[in-house]
Structure 1
Amino acid sequence: METTQTILTVGTEEPISWKQSFLLGLQHLLAMDVYVVPFIVALTVGFSASQSAILIQSTFIAAGIATIIQSGLLMKMPVAQGASFIPIGAIAGITLANGGGMEGWGAAMGASFLGAIVVTILGFTGLFHKFIDSFVPSAVGGTIIFCVGLSLMPAAVNDNIYNSAVGSIGQNIFLALITGAIMIGCSILGNHSSKSGRIFRIASVITALFAGSILAGFMGMLDLTSVAEAKWFSMPQFIFKDFTFSFDFSAIVTMLIIYIVLIAETTGTWLAVSNVTNTPLNKDSINRGVIGEGLGCMTAALFGTTPVTGYSSNAGIISITGIASRRVFLAAGGLFIVFGLSGKLSALISSVPSAVIGGVFALVCGVIAMSGFQVLKQEQIGQKETYVVSIPILLVVALTFLPTDYLDTLPTMIQYLFGSPIAIAALTAIILNKVLPQN
């Protein structure tokens, strides 16, 4: 898929000091909400408070190792890995169906580990890149990128702002608006300043998050109790030390389905990153990306946490800051590991008010969607392309607002698929592009 021109201050392979890299990596980490998935899973399966804290730490470490594997060693693109929302229901269901507790968790992790091996094999055999080459032209790729941004918007606004557990809805909207306005202001100021003034654009995300958190503190919406109670250093869980793998056939089949959906979704992330960094996806990078995805998920299983995948939000942050250096993502991976080894630091990250994150995240989603629109703008949109683009967008909206009560009545496999509007939109765009006649 062809890429569009994006104004980058620093390209993917350009040098940048490690001091700057860690600062910039921190804002990627802060904007990712990686702790949310393990928190939800822990509540669902009934883990204790201490088990929940350990699961969050393990997720940070797995995300850090997976990010370094993907950005530094395999795909070699600025991609940050974090816990995926897609497997939440499957992991919780497998755990509870196998007796709950660490015994049931071992069955979920065993199935996750074997599924990750299959993903890795797909990368080594090169089967996935052949699929991309044949089925994802620019019109389809642009549609997928647009749908990625669109599908994340409701979570950014509804989950982080409207339904925040802290403060009133009016307070959260005000906090999100101020945070977003600060980020936009810094970005504009950086673009219209001298070369030395570009720091405003580069640090726009972390500045907005920090300022928003300070404002939340004055509004009585910043709770640092968990930070004060947490330990400075604590070990995560690990295979054979805290749990052991067990293998259940139905659990393995379930996780294989989950990984199919996961790869379909992460393809959207790769397309988005490729577009904003002007780095075409070729055969080798796709194969290495699939291998990296598999190895990252294997690492997550060994640390006893849920599968990790590329986060689309980072593509938006790259576009906003203009910094695409892979060194920033290696630094982010290192910070993930450091935060994962410190209960106090991981608690500090999770204490950032959700409305503050929502204010930044909502804008990032819009930037991702516009990246897809830029790709589509270069295409000749005929009658066929109209349906290839519009139907997946319609499905994203429909599935995002599909009532949970109805979704729970559907067969398990359908629930997994419908639980990922991005995957459904991607598959629909691919199928329509192949089956609809050109004229």
Structure 2
Amino acid sequence: MDKKQVVLDIQDRPKLGQWFGLSIQHMFSMFGSTVLVPILVGLNPGIALFSSGIGTLMYILITKGKIPAYMGSSFSFIVPMLALMKAAGYPAIAQGTVAVGLVYLIVAIIVNFFGSDWIDKVLPPIIVGPIVMVIGLSLASTAAKDATLNAAGKYDIKLFIVAMITLLVTIGFNMYLKGFLGLIPILLGIVFGYIVAVIFGLVDFTPVMKANWFQLPNFQIPFVSYKPEFYWGAILSMAPIAFVTMTEHLGHIMVLNQLTGRNFFRDPGLNKTLAGDGTASIIAGFVGGPPVTSYGENIGVLAITKVHSIYVLGGAAFFAIVFSFVGKLSALIESIPSPVIGGISFLLFGVIASSGLRVLIDKKVDFDKKRNLMIGSTILVIGIGNAYLQLGQYQFSGLAVAAVLGIILNLVLPEDAASEKQNIG
């Protein structure tokens, strides 16, 4: 990206008033997904919010404040966590979460010794572009469900109307507002959409009224809350999935490289990014939260606002920690209905997908070449369609399958197809 287009670069510090609004915007963007994971599994949402904030600050510290990323609850571990919660409760999940973080640290150590020069060869633009597109487009169905289906799984026209109003208003804010307001279109879109949802009767204020102002999260700390013991089933069911989320980790770094005009694989280095991600999950495991990973929602905010300041992401982490102790504020944000999140997600996920398209355009990838056409087409359809691989209790997402298959095709396919050589001759 041309740095002249950037409003605030990575090391730029915003003014105090701007800082508050920009950070709150990022926190709102990740809040719904971060608390949804623990709600689905049966964990404490406040702890997930707390661990996401602490994990993000640790990630920023370990990556030397060079990467604007936010760490939130990972959806990839929901299935094994549900099984572990029924079988042995949170202590088993905690051990699995720590094991996930340790896998990241081990891989980070290996990368530290052997370097990451192989990345440019393994991940050329024909791989990076489609993978980035898949990251955005594979989430499209999630946004669509939020925008159309109620809690019973039935279509509700009111949800669709609220989602569309939220989307269109956010687009309008992004295009026509100037000054500071032009930097927080996502936040303004969420607030406007929330008001519309209230008018449509989609917001339940009961949990907000019942919540206490100060509410200590129900931390689950080993040797304090419970006596830890080995759960080999937890380790074996969750640790291997770390290799799946690493694929998503690489994809998010690719997107950030494109957005910021940098190469984070080289500086601060893939070893640092993996270590930051792994440390965040280990911390989450020790306080009672689920594994965490970098969030596409926040990357979408970076792309739309062109505010890449690490201070803004750090501020979002700070507010997440504070809000985890303020019961009414947490309940208020949790009351944001799904169509508002869905409407915003249409834009956020679409921007990520468009960033992948931009990679292909900027690098002038030639789709007249059969090799590029075969690789790109395979990645897009398998990834977006989520043609996942199920091996026993392990599930590898369509994104992971698409990425691995794309890398293999890139390494084995010749530069020119036999028919192309014949035409050249």
Using the size of structure 2 for normalisation, the TM-score is 0.89
Equivalent of 2:204 in 202, 220, 223: 223
Q: Distance in 1 between matches of 2:187 and 2:162?
A: 15
Equivalent of 1:291 in 269, 275, 288: 275
Indicate the residue corresponding to 1:412 in structure 2: 392
Q: Distance in 1 between matches of 2:351 and 2:366?
A: 22
Q: Distance in 2 between matches of 1:307 and 1:203?
A: 29
CA RMSD of aligned residues (A): 2.1
Equivalent of 1:60 in 38, 41, 49: 49
SS of 1:82's partner is: strand
Alignment of 1:139-150 (within 5 A): 139-150=126-137
CA contact (8 A) 1:149 1:365 kept: yes
SS of 2:139's partner is: helix
Distance change >3 Å, CA 5–CA 431, structure 1 → 2 = farther
Q: Distance in 2 between matches of 1:4 and 1:373?
A: 17
Which amino acid counterpart does residue 170 of structure 1 have in structure 2?
Answer: I
* Corresponding position: 1:132 with 2:112: no
| Post-superposition CA distance 1:138-184 (Å, at most 9, x none) | 221112111101111111112x1122329962111110111111111
Indicate the residue corresponding to 2:408 in structure 1: 431
| Post-superposition CA distance 1:382-411 (Å, at most 9, x none) | 2111111111111123327x8xxxx9xx54
Indicate the residue corresponding to 1:101 in structure 2: none
Equivalent of 1:176 in 156, 163, 188: 163
Which amino acid counterpart does residue 241 of structure 2 have in structure 1?
Answer: I
Which amino acid counterpart does residue 412 of structure 1 have in structure 2?
Answer: G
Which amino acid counterpart does residue 345 of structure 2 have in structure 1?
Answer: F
Distance change >3 Å, CA 255–CA 129, structure 1 → 2 = farther
Alignment of 1:376-391 (within 5 A): 376-377=360-361, 378=363, 379-381=365-367, 382-391=369-378
Indicate the residue corresponding to 2:220 in structure 1: 238
Q: Distance in 2 between matches of 1:263 and 1:244?
A: 31
Q: Percent identity?
A: 29
Q: Which runs of 5+ in 2 are unaligned?
A: 417-425
SS of 1:309's partner is: strand
Q: Distance in 2 between matches of 1:438 and 1:121?
A: 35
Alignment of 1:245-324 (within 5 A): 245-283=228-266, 284-324=268-308
Equivalent of 2:108 in 123, 130, 139: 123
Equivalent of 1:69 in 53, 58, 64: 58
* Corresponding position: 1:83 with 2:60: no
Equivalent of 1:346 in 321, 330, 334: 330
Indicate the residue corresponding to 1:96 in structure 2: 86
Q: Which runs of 5+ in 1 are unaligned?
A: 43-51, 99-103, 191-196
How far the C-alpha of 1:6 sits from its partner, in A, is 8.6
SS of 1:341's partner is: coil
Q: Distance in 2 between matches of 1:22 and 1:423?
A: 36
Which amino acid counterpart does residue 343 of structure 1 have in structure 2?
Answer: G
* Corresponding position: 1:155 with 2:142: yes
CA contact (8 A) 2:138 2:386 kept: no
Alignment of 1:397-408 (within 5 A): 397-399=384-386
Which amino acid counterpart does residue 213 of structure 2 have in structure 1?
Answer: W
Indicate the residue corresponding to 2:420 in structure 1: none
How far the C-alpha of 1:355 sits from its partner, in A, is 0.2
Q: Distance in 1 between matches of 2:117 and 2:73?
A: 27
Of 287-296 and 89-98, deviating more is 89-98
CA contact (8 A) 1:142 1:375 kept: yes
How far the C-alpha of 1:282 sits from its partner, in A, is 3.0
Q: Distance in 2 between matches of 1:327 and 1:89?
A: 34
CA contact (8 A) 1:18 1:327 kept: no
Indicate the residue corresponding to 2:419 in structure 1: none
How far the C-alpha of 1:13 sits from its partner, in A, is 1.5
Indicate the residue corresponding to 1:113 in structure 2: 98
CA contact (8 A) 2:134 2:384 kept: no
**Alignment: residue pair count:** 404
| Post-superposition CA distance 1:364-395 (Å, at most 9, x none) | 11111010001011223321111111111111
CA contact (8 A) 1:6 1:278 kept: no
Alignment of 1:348-367 (within 5 A): 348-367=332-351
CA contact (8 A) 1:72 1:326 kept: no
Which amino acid counterpart does residue 408 of structure 2 have in structure 1?
Answer: I
Indicate the residue corresponding to 1:165 in structure 2: 151
